[in-house]
Structure 1
Amino acid sequence: MDNKNLYEKIGELLIAHDFTIAFAESATAGRLSADFSLIEDAGKFLKGGVVCYDACIKEDMLHVDHELIQKFTPESMEVTKAITYGLSKIIKADIHIGVTGLTCPGGSESESKPVGTMFIYGSFQGAPIFAERIKFDGNKSEIISATVSHCATLLYRYLQSISR
């Protein structure tokens, strides 16, 4: 299924279940929110999002503990879960999705966490629905596109699983 059809199916499922969604985006810098806004009738399910590219936004706006970031790095599953939880406190929605990761050299890049390592966390009404660490190859734009696509796939699988 191509991305356009995938997004349309997600929109239909969100509307059918009367679910709303919000995003906390670090590495994807708003791309998820933007892509979801293009789905027909997005106003029926898209609540909004927070771009938390810099650690200070994670801390100040999403109330992620500074020590958590220091201990695990901004690009980690622990911090991704924390930004998702923080988002749920400021944007009320049924589904919250958080994304962090390394799209270019620097940051917390290491042998065990190379460029392209992405962290995706999703929750439904506070309960985890997916948590994934995944590695994508390519340049920054390709890594972001692959991550956004993968988030959509994870969400679609979840929505399909509860629609049966």
Structure 2
Amino acid sequence: MPQADPESVDPTARLIAELTRRQLRIAVAESLTGGLVVAELTRIPGASLVVSGGVVAYDTAIKRSLLGVSPQLLAREGAVHADVAQQMATGVRIALAVDGRAADIGVATTGVAGPADQDGKHAGTVYLGIAIGDGVESISLDLPGDRAEIRTAAVREAIDAVLSRLERS
């Protein structure tokens, strides 16, 4: 029985292949996922051609100082908010510029993995930020499961979201 092409079944491999084909670079800002998105991307051979790197902005102060998230937004809404995810995705493109060139795509994760609630948000509340070109958007998720399951699902959702946007354009 013939083996399936890994890119046809593995969304991360498909994403790396698409980024490579288009010669696009991606940068990642992670809070909730603590580096798991970058680890997933770099699992694929050849990822070094397209992955600029990642910032684990677990401390809210890093979101502000390194990624440029508005201090007023953080004070008003906390770190778990759709606008924070958008600003993280935009900011990481610049923070991880290579030779003065901002990354083409920024992706960010912020949320509550639990077990406890945070800033009035329940475990499983997740926001993804995706910045491509001049556009930036957030995706709101309500993920079930324990801490590990929520973080794993957030990684999968982030990869799928970027891939689906590239495939549509």
**Alignment TM-score, normalising by the size of structure 2:** 0.87
Aligned to 1:102: 112
Counterparts of 1:62 and 1:147 in 2: how far apart (Å)? Answer: 20
In the TM superposition, structure 1's runs of 4+ consecutive aligned residues that sit over 4 Å from their partners are none
**Aligned residue type for 2:18:** L
Q: Provide Cα deviations, 1:128-159, integer angstroms capped at 9, x if missing partner.
A: 2x421011111111000001001111111112
Aligned to 1:27: 32
The number of residue pairs the alignment matches comes to 157
Matching of residues 12-161 of structure 1 within 5 Å = 12-91=17-96, 92-104=102-114, 105-108=116-119, 110=120, 113-128=121-136, 130-161=137-168
Aligned-residue offset at 1:49: 0.8
Counterparts of 1:140 and 1:77 in 2: how far apart (Å)? Answer: 20
> Unpaired segments of 5 or more residues in structure 1?
none
**1:114 aligned counterpart, secondary structure:** coil
Aligned-residue offset at 1:126: 3.5
Counterparts of 1:50 and 1:126 in 2: how far apart (Å)? Answer: 21
Aligned-residue offset at 1:11: 1.2
Query: How many percent identity over aligned positions?
Result: 24
CA RMSD of aligned residues (A): 1.7
**2:156 aligned counterpart, secondary structure:** helix
**2:10 aligned counterpart, secondary structure:** helix
**Alignment TM-score, normalising by the size of structure 1:** 0.89
Tell me if the contact between 2:83 and 2:138 (Cα under 8 Å) persists in the aligned partners: no
